[in-house]
Amino acid sequence: MSRTDPVEAGHGLGPLARRVRRSLNGDHPGEVGTMLPPLVDHHVHLQLSRADDAVAGGIAAVVDLGADPGAIATIARTEGLPRVRYAGAFLTAPGGYPSDRPWRPDGSVRELPSVDGGATDEQARELAHHALAGPVEAAVDEQRAFGASVVKVALNSVAGTVFDRPTLDAVVAAARARGLPVAAHAEGAGMAQLAIDAGVDVLVHAPFTERLDDALIARAAAAGQAWISTLAIHVRDDAAVAETAIENVRRFHAAGGRVLYGTDLGNGDLVPGVNPDEVAALVRAGLAASDVIAALADPWPDASPAWTDAGVATFVPGPPPDADRLTDPDTVAAWLAAARILPAEELEPC
Ligand SMILES: [Zn+2]
């Protein structure tokens, strides 16, 4: 078998998996298993969680989606693991989520006034491209100056006011003009549709408030929108909400939508590292084991995986599940949750 062969043709783990054994001069000499690329949790809050625990559980890289921009820039500059990309502050409407939440880190929220001073939508959209969008552009510039790779907006109509469409359009336009994608927390009736209509690049939680209709899901997938899963928090908190989110992911994935693994680490009690509840829920949503691996290894928000590469590889010990067990949620979850990070040179193809 050559270095570039997948684990086994037709095995079902996809092109990112390699059969390997550990070298004879390290721990567990000769142990056989599967090598995967560095794995990414695409939704974390490092100011609210312990990154070391995630790394110990097989996560090599994280995307922080809401923090004090200066604090997260300092954390991200730290040597070693995890590698970090980040959004900086939450951008929200005046009084909007999460400005009044006790958990929000100091300095992590920017409340932006409406760009629409009673103008028509068309006039407001025109204004959004010009000087009156000042506070929006300043907020986006601030995150970029702190090194943000993505702009995070909160659209939570359950917990406060929400950007009107012209202001959301202004945020999207300002981010695009600076080469940054926009990621939205969409919660409350119609909020996922608002984000999809406005061309938001990523939903930071798979939609969980309501069942989206097929046409809207097809539109999101066709537009290239990505959804970060965060299903384990719902499995933990509310079975009915979890079913709604899983059903939306099932149809989004079937429509060709890009699913990114993410847990919202820092949101209450969650198993750090590769989370078995998150993996099991993704399998229940119809993702094959190879799709789950792709969702974990996706380099978003960068186009290239270079930022995740710290000379490490992911090692999942033992034989992978048999091909006919790769659609069983608990089997795939137990296998992937055993993932650990090892120096890449300690693994040899076999
Ligand atoms: Zn979050």
Q: How far is CA 21 from CA 17, 135, 207, 244, 319, in A?
A: 13, 55, 40, 41, 11
328 domain residue, yes or no: no
pLDDT of residue 26: 79
Helix segments in 111-206, DSSP class H: 121-128, 134-145, 165-177, 191-197
242 sits in which H/E element: helix 239-254
Compute the distance from residue 331 Cα to the ligand 1 centre, in Å: 28
Residue 10, pLDDT > 80, answer no
Mean pLDDT across 180-189: 98
pLDDT range class, residue 92, cuts 50, 70, 90 = very high
Q: Which amino acid is at 245?
A: A
Q: What is the model's pLDDT at position 1?
A: 41
- What's the gap in Å between 102 CA and the centre of ligand 1? 14
Tell me the C-alpha distance between 43 and 204, whole Å. Answer: 7
Q: How far is the CA of 264 from the centre of ligand 1 (A)?
A: 5
Model confidence at 181, pLDDT cuts 50, 70, 90, reads very high
* Neighbour tally for 232: CB within 10 Å: 24
Domain span including residue 127:
40-296
pLDDT given at position 128: 56
Q: Give residue 120's pLDDT.
A: 59
Task: Determine whether 165 is exposed, middle or buried from the number of CB atoms within 10 Å of its CB (0-12, 13-18, 19+).
Answer: middle
pLDDT of residue 229: 98
pLDDT (0 to 100) of residue 2: 41
Determine, yes or no, domain membership for 232.
yes
Per-residue pLDDT band for 171 (boundaries 50, 70, 90) equals very high
Query: What would the pLDDT profile of 263-300 be if each residue is shown by its tens digit?
Result: 999 999 999 999 999 999 999 999 999 999 999 999 99
Is 318 part of any domain?
A: no
Give the pLDDT of residue 39: 98
What is the reported pLDDT for 127?
58
Kindly tell me if the per-residue pLDDT of 109 is higher than 60: yes
Average pLDDT of span 64-76: 98
Distance 17 CA to ligand 1 centre (A): 29
Confidence check: pLDDT of 129 > 90: no
- Measure 52 CA to ligand 1 centroid, in angstroms: 18
Per-residue confidence (pLDDT) for residue 266, from 0 to 100: 97
Tens digits of per-residue pLDDT, 211-252? 999 999 999 999 999 999 999 999 999 999 999 999 999 999
* pLDDT score recorded for residue 4: 44
Instruction: Confirm whether 95 is domain-assigned.
Output: yes
Nearby residues for ligand 1 (ion, Cβ within 5 Å) = 264
Domain count, the chain: 1
Domain with 83 in it: what CATH number?
A: 3.20.20.140
Q: Please give the DSSP secondary-structure letter assigned to residue 253.
A: H
More confident residue, 4 or 288: 288
C-alpha 347 to ligand 1 mean position (Å): 34
The predicted structure's pLDDT at residue 123: 62
CA of 12 to the centre of ligand 1 (A): 32
Cα 179 to the chain's mean position, in Å?
19
For residue 127, report the distance from its CA to the centre of ligand 1, in Å: 31
Listed residue (226, 192, 221, 223) closest to 209, CA to CA: 192
Q: What is the overall mean pLDDT for the chain?
A: 93
Q: Over the stretch 316-348, which tens digit does the pLDDT of each residue have?
A: 999 999 999 999 999 999 999 999 999 999 999
Q: Domain for residue 252, yes or no?
A: yes
Domain assignment present for residue 273? The answer is yes
- Residue 6: count of CB within 10 angstroms of its CB: 17
Whether 215 is in a domain gets the answer: yes
> By percentage, how much of the chain surpasses pLDDT 90?
89
pLDDT at 125: 60
Is residue 92 a contact partner of residue 153, using CB atoms and an 8 Å limit? Answer: yes
Average pLDDT over residues 125-147: 81
The SS3 assignment for 218 reads helix
